[in-house]
Chain A
Amino acid sequence: MTPTPSSTASTGSTHALFDDVVRSDSSLRRFLHGLPGVDQVGCEARAAGLGTRSIKTTAKAFAIDLAIRMVDLTTLEGQDTHGKVRALASKAMRPDPADPSCPATAAVCVYPDMVATAKQTLGTSGVNVAAVATAFPSGRAAMDIKLADTRDAVEAGADEIDMVIDRGAFLSGRYLDVFEEIAQVKEACGDAHLKVIFETGELQTYDNVRRASWLAMMAGGHFIKTSTGKVQPAATLPVTLIMLEAVRDFREQTGQMVGVKPAGGIKTTKDAIKYLVMVNEIAGPDWLDPDWFRFGASTLLNDLLMQRTKMTTGRYSGPDYFTLD
């Protein structure tokens, strides 16, 4: 599984280590298909096993605050308005207005045309603006349009770009096309961080998720992300397990860390804590940081806030006590 280190510097991969791998479609295919396979049942059993960890008291309080700090508070609807985005951005900065000790979320995640509005509200709060780009969610557009979409979002002030890969190209085995697309979008990102969305619900197999993870990491993605939230299933524990193994193994080989973002379908504190346990035990505690792990979610935040209040007050709270933005 270790690629042959290349002595010749060339363009393409961010790591000279992978230059030979990405030299041609066939070498790339050889590499990706040479990665160890994933046994579905074993992988799901491992994820379920980690899901039985019981996180209580101090550990739970730590996990809830960490999870809040990892949320990319998301609205990606056709009905989004500037007003909606402003309200969401306000909530991201002060999730619990009644409790100033409650941390802010990591980012808000919006469509490119809403970036400026979000940026305006967030100002220098430290909460980032993430924009979905590259003809989100299907990714079905010409390359120059995807790049224009990306530049547009970056120019409007996006700190992070969440791109979608061309699943059609991936599933038909045109890995080099996918690789080059990611590399080009990354270039268009400039200083913005790039998250690469696989839409794992469409890739179907864990083997594909592992291959997509390596492809995106070799192409220079800062984060790998499960889903758009528009396709079911979206994020799952076993899919995220595979991606966490991939970033762990990638660091072993390159020394470089890549972040992971499950998105879609994570709604409860209990779910979020299962993910954090998995991060802790699979990738390791270095990833327990908003720089390296995010939740793409909207309703999750209120559940985290309710649980947080329960921890501090000792009684159960209700949805009336939290804002619905």
Chain B
Amino acid sequence: MSRIDVRKTYKLYIGGQFPRSESGRSYVVNDAKGRLLANAAQASRKDARDAVVAARAAFGGWSTKTAYNRAQVVYRIAEVLEGRREQFEAELRAAEGISTAKARTYVDAAIDRLVWYAGWADKITQVVGNANPVAGPYFNLSTPEPSGVIAVVAPRGALLGLVSVVAPLIITGNTVVVIASEENPLTAITLGEVMATSDLPGGVVNVLTGSAAEIAPWLASHMDVNGIDLTGIEDATLATELEAAGADNLKRVRRPAPDTDWLAEPGLDRMTRFLETKTVWHPIGV
């Protein structure tokens, strides 16, 4: 008789913990062939609220770590992911019904993307900051700072898509509440496990699974969220509603990006969209 395997319960990832949805709800996640993969937690508005609280609490510490330190943490995520690559490849094959080769390509790309962004931590300031030659006896320097707590709707693409939207935000010091792809949420939670064991402080990334249409409006209207990335929103009407709701506290908005080629090298835009430029003046005198 074969051994009965121990199945994983997929929960949410909030504040470094893996709680169930406070609503007690879950939904069925099937594989590409329509067979049950697992039940995923179906996050509620209260879970979203808790995630924002966790992200805000983490922001002070994360944003003031040295860039070198953030780089090492994100690099560490890549290392741990590399070590668990077989698991991710298997999950991708199961969830998305893709070939082994394709799954390997996505995992490779996700790991490489993390490494790419890790290197940006201590360079983005040099590339987008400026010393400004004002017409007077003043030192004047512009540097980028993270906007704060960013809500993200992740695109399909359970691993690479998710990594590609989250990494550019946290590398610059933002903290994140991300709604995983509704169809493929399980890998997002497994990635949460990777992050939880990669020296990433709790609350820097918070993963919600469930319905974006249900949760995203609460995040879009949340007054303690500084920006919203609508990358994964495929319904144009919903995207417009979310952007409009974000206006209540003037969230920085990234509009949907339906045709993104996630395998291509990204530019700076995913980082700079959620950066603020701070300009400091000081007189020069004796």
Contacts and interface: CB of A to CB of B under 8 A. Distances in A.
In their complex, do chains A and B touch, with some C-beta pair under 8 Å? yes
A18 to B, nearest CB: 28
Nearest to B136: A41
A39 B285 contact: yes
A41 B138 CA distance: 8
Contact of A204 (B136, B138, B283, B286): B286
A49 interface: no
B61 interface: no
B137 interface: yes
Nearest to A40: B285
Interface in A191-220: 204-205
A39 B286 contact: no
A204 B286 CA distance: 9
B284 interface: yes
Contacts of A42: 283
Interface string B270-286: 00000000000001111
A40 B138 CA distance: 11
Listed residue (B136, B137, B138, B283) with the most chain A CB atoms within 10 angstroms of its CB: B283
Interface in B223-271: none
Contacts of B138: 41
A101 B88 CA distance: 101
Interface string A20-41: 0000000000000000000111
Interface residues of B, number: 7
Nearest to B137: A41
Interface in B15-42: none
Interface in A32-71: 39-42, 44
B286 A205 contact: yes
Interface in A233-288: none
Nearest to B283: A41
A199 B266 CA distance: 63
Contacts of B137: 40-41
Contacts of B283: 39-42
Nearest to A39: B283
B138 to A, nearest CB: 7
A42 B137 CA distance: 10
A41 B282 CA distance: 10
Nearest to A38: B285
Interface in A167-208: 204-205
Contacts of B285: 39-41, 44
Nearest to A42: B283
Contacts of A41: 136-138, 283-285
A306 B271 CA distance: 67
Listed residue (A41, A44, A204) with the most chain B CB atoms within 10 angstroms of its CB: A41
Interface string B41-58: 000000000000000000
Contacts of A204: 286
Interface in A62-96: none
Interface string B137-166: 110000000000000000000000000000
A284 B136 CA distance: 30
Nearest to B282: A41
B77 to A, nearest CB: 46
A41 B281 CA distance: 12
A41 B283 CA distance: 6
Listed residue (B136, B138, B284, B285) with the most chain A CB atoms within 10 angstroms of its CB: B285
A40 B286 CA distance: 6
A171 to B, nearest CB: 14
Interface of A: 39-42, 44, 204-205
16 contacts: A39-B283, A39-B285, A40-B137, A40-B283, A40-B285, A40-B286, A41-B136, A41-B137, A41-B138, A41-B283, A41-B284, A41-B285, A42-B283, A44-B285, A204-B286, A205-B286
Interface of B: 136-138, 283-286
Given A39-B283, A39-B285, 14 more contacts: A40-B137, A40-B283, A40-B285, A40-B286, A41-B136, A41-B137, A41-B138, A41-B283, A41-B284, A41-B285, A42-B283, A44-B285, A204-B286, A205-B286
Q: Sorted from nearest, which 3 A-B pairs have the closest CB atoms?
A: A40-B285, A41-B283, A41-B285
